[in-house]
Structure 1
Amino acid sequence: MASPDLRIALIQMHPVPLDAERNFETASKHIHEASTKGAVLAVLPEYHLTGWQPEDPRFRSIASQADEYLAKYCELARRCAINIVPGTILSLSGSASTGMLNKAYFISSSGEVLGEYTKTNLWHPEREHLLSGPDHRGATTGPHHEVIDTPIGPIGLLICYDLFWPEATRELAKAGAKLIIIPTFTKMDDPSPLARSYNPHGEALFTESALITRAFECTAAMVYCNVGGPKEEGFMGLSSVVLPIVGRVKGSLNTADEGVAIVDVDMNALEVAEQNYKIREDLCKKTFHYK
């Protein structure tokens, strides 16, 4: 059972493209500050060490250093006594010489890696460069999303485009996840110019709507951490914690600017939502209508 109240730090970084060491130093500074403010969990964005620069050879070179950076975050978690989801860390696939994996980890406050997740649903531009989790494992059936038991309760990890698929959050909710943590690299200019001509704020509309919907339909807390940066360069930000009934929790970020949000989360709201909607109860019934 998760603690009734959690203080979570959302680190909305503006990654310096392909400067992994500088980005790690920035993340370390913010994580240390979050720990001094009583946060029990710090979350970083997707691609926070590299930015999205897949055509540059340095992108793959940084992926070859995945174990090194994971070890650094484990030491940082132990030293600061804080749980960390270090956004995503690119790594090389052992199953294909050209493949890379986009992976998220949960590191405990004692510095132990308690679980990992490889992105299942790749955004279209990623598919030329990365392997999805199922493709990497050669898995065509069975659960793609597994719950991790942690000091702050049962959690699930998703990454960015996974948010588009309600099956992902539902699979985690059915398995018992109370927090679903989503490192993200989403910008306003991700859609095509034609799509943006219909609504230039379409990505923000989807993100805010989907987070609230997923929270309600799973009676789970959605912990969403996006990259930040100049609005004129297409950055969106909006890192937030979202609860059913409550919506976006006070302290969530409303801008694209780089920054850190310290959010106090009342986890009792999940139990109240479940008592009202009985989503998890129905999901776990053998007679549940939808398979």
Structure 2
Amino acid sequence: MLIVPEALIADLVSPEDAFAAVAATFAAMARGEAYNFPVVREALGEGRQYGFKSGLDRAGGMLGVKAGGYFPGNMARGITNHQSTVYLFDPESGRPTAMVGGNLLTALRTAAASALSIDRLARREARVLGVVGAGHQAGFQLRAAARVRDWDRVIAWNLHPEMLPKLGAVAEELGLPFEAVGLERMVEADAIITITSSPAASLMAAHVAPGAHLACMGTDTKGKQEVQVALVAKARLFTDEVAQSVSIGEAQHAVAAGLVAGADIVPLGAVLAGADAGRRSDEEITLFDGTGVGLQDLAVAAVAVTRARERGLGVEVSV
């Protein structure tokens, strides 16, 4: 088994690698060649979340699980709030083949999924990007969105506004004008990324203009909510995994209220495969419910393992 520690990941997997791996995962899911297993998520108290995401990709020959979660006290410890590790197995024998640091990989694959949704669902003339949230993953989201579209400017809101200058620095690095705004100003945005760990909705229907695309990337556990139910109900819904969207994703609350059903939600893979047209008009609000699937984690971890073996990096151990 090859151990690829977190410290090596940045030199092994690029954002472009993550984008390609996540796109291939969506395509394999759409073809029925890959599927995710039910997610296990547990609340540990004090905002801590721990769980397992796993799956099997027959086309890619990948079987594995990501173990980890969200630990909000970690910022004070000088480490990221999201902590995870990916374990890969031989799908034929079940023997472990790799253990891979999953923190950066999680940020990269989450941003890649968001960018894919923007690329395929946002209006072609979209020029203003909105970001709700300014935590660790927000910078990755902004950089990924900038790779798929040419934005004129970025507007952003965060519950703790003192965190916004760090995101502003990323925008400056990308050459994009940046402005911290109130949520009511999100109506100016053509595409909005939400990337928070909120237990209550912050983005309301009144904050979103007709024709906007939303990439809702923060809700991956029962009880989390970034977007008002009324906004979810009025949008055309897309997701990475329908089963997760209705149970632990942003759609869970609209489903519970009887406003949305699983049949109303389109897998993004169907759009990538050409089985669904995606956006149907310039006035339609589209919403991608990015719950984060285990297959994405396996795909980016597999890239890290391949690169590590090619370069003679990592630690090989007998199991």
> With structure 1 as the length reference, what TM-score do the two structures score?
0.37
> With structure 2 as the length reference, what TM-score do the two structures score?
0.35
